[in-house]
Structure 1
Amino acid sequence: MAKFNAFGKEKGWIELICGPMFAGKSEELLRRLKRLEYADVSYIVFKPIVDTRSKKEIKSRDGRSSYAIEFEHPYQILDYVKKNIVLPQVVAIDEAQFADTSIVDVCEALADSGVIVYVAALDRDFKNEPFMVTAKISCYAEHITKLSAVCTECGAPGTISLRLINGMPAHFDSPVVQIGNQESYTVRCRHHHKVPGKVYDLPIKEFKTSYKKSIKK
């Protein structure tokens, strides 16, 4: 009869850190990596090359940073891991929403092979629509940490990034991906997130309009 070992946990799983901009996703990722250093756990950090805000590193807004290997295609992560002198116990990927959907298969392959995978990513774009990469990863992740920022209008939990052009909300037809920081983005709660040009189905629009009016009476 096999003995039960309460500490005999199989290694290999995915931990997703998601939320809007300015919520502290990179800070949380770096915090987890720092904790690994105390336990002498080997890890490698990756980021999509399209993220040009910093070169070959991930940075938090509180000043912390870590060296990161840039990739154009997610399969390059697997190639680098295989060729590394020390096989990593943990692989961390920042700004995963900028990668194509094959990053999901890469995360799955790593976890299935016994690697613990940390992924940090935006969950929604400025239109309040999900990044499909993040949505798919969330379906496979064993652990999900969803962070929020602070709405710059009212101080409520800020859960949605909002792109600004000359201080005004960008039109719905603007490109989804535009690398930027506080000069181009802010964070709003659901009640203060407005995107010009966004079209709602008529039943949704009528309900929202009539219900708000009835509440105010």
Structure 2
Amino acid sequence: MFIEPKRGKAKDTKSGWIEVITGSMFSGKTEELIRRLKRAQIAKLNVEIFKPKIDVRYDENDIVSHNQNAIRSTPVNTAEEILLLSGNCDVVGIDEAQFLDQSIVEVCNKLSFQGKRVIVAGLDMDSKGLPFGSMPQLLAVAEYVTKVHAICVKCGDIAHFSYRKSNAENLILLGEHDIYEARCRTCFQEN
């Protein structure tokens, strides 16, 4: 279980940091992101939440987990918009970071240097089992990384691959159980 770090002070400035929640589809990334953001809201922290505008699977505005847990967010086209819209908040939440442009790493770093807690969720690998978008760079610069796992639909083992059941070749293909399923390494390779 993730233990929320205590905010420290150094030379009269707030210390920010980056947390990354990653794993395959159906592993609970968004559920964990929402849990952390709601706890920050309960603590009366000023929270701003963002998601890529292209992600309209459950709702155009809200971030929604597969369990239908939801939290209000602001859809953005680019990572730079997050800098403009985050204002004087204490905590910035970002879902589906793999769909944002490469500047997401720089944006997260800038926000953390401003003293903000930045919580990012995203797929670490695409449906081919390769690193996805800027996630490897985000994992490298984050102070805290949480890797969550799903259950393999074929054998019941721990799954960390997002297997695409469709033959579509495009890298980004939004979908749910109709297009993707979680698989372990062995079952992913069996196709």
Unaligned stretches of 5+ residues in structure 1: 1-5, 197-217
Q: Are 1:176 and 2:185 an aligned pair? A: no
Equivalent positions of 1:4-43 (< 5 A) are 8-9=8-9, 10-43=14-47
C-alpha distance in 1 between matches for 2:68 and 2:133: 30
Is 1:90 the equivalent of 2:91? yes
Instruction: Map 1:29-178; keep pairs closer than 5 Å.
Output: 29-53=33-57, 54-82=59-87, 87-165=88-166, 170=167, 174-178=169-173
Q: Percent identity?
A: 39
Please give the TM-score of this superposition, normalised by the length of structure 1: 0.80
Q: Report the AA paired with residue 134 of structure 1.
A: M
Q: Deviations over 1:71-93 (max 9, x none)?
A: 111111111123xxxx1100000
Deviates more, 1:96-105 or 1:59-68: 59-68
What's 1:199 paired with? none
Question: Structure 1 CA distance, aligned partners of 2:95 and 2:130?
Answer: 20
Structure 2: gaps (5+ residues):
1-5
- Structure 1 or 2, whichever has the larger Rg, is 1
Tell me how far apart the structure 2 counterparts of residues 128 and 8 of structure 1 sit (CA, whole Å): 37
Alpha-carbon offset, residue 141 of structure 1: 0.1
Shift, 1:8, TM fit: 4.0
Structure showing the higher helix proportion among its residues: 1
The AA in structure 1 aligned to 2:74 is I
Q: TM-score, normalised by structure 2?
A: 0.90
Cα contact 1:127–1:195 (8 A) shared by 2: no
Helix, strand or coil at the partner of 1:110: helix
State the superposition RMSD in angstroms. 1.6
Which whole-Å deviations, capped at 9, do the CAs of 1:118-151 have from their partners, x for residues lacking one?
A: 0000000010001131101001000000000000
Question: Per the alignment, in what secondary structure is the counterpart of residue 33 of structure 1?
Answer: helix
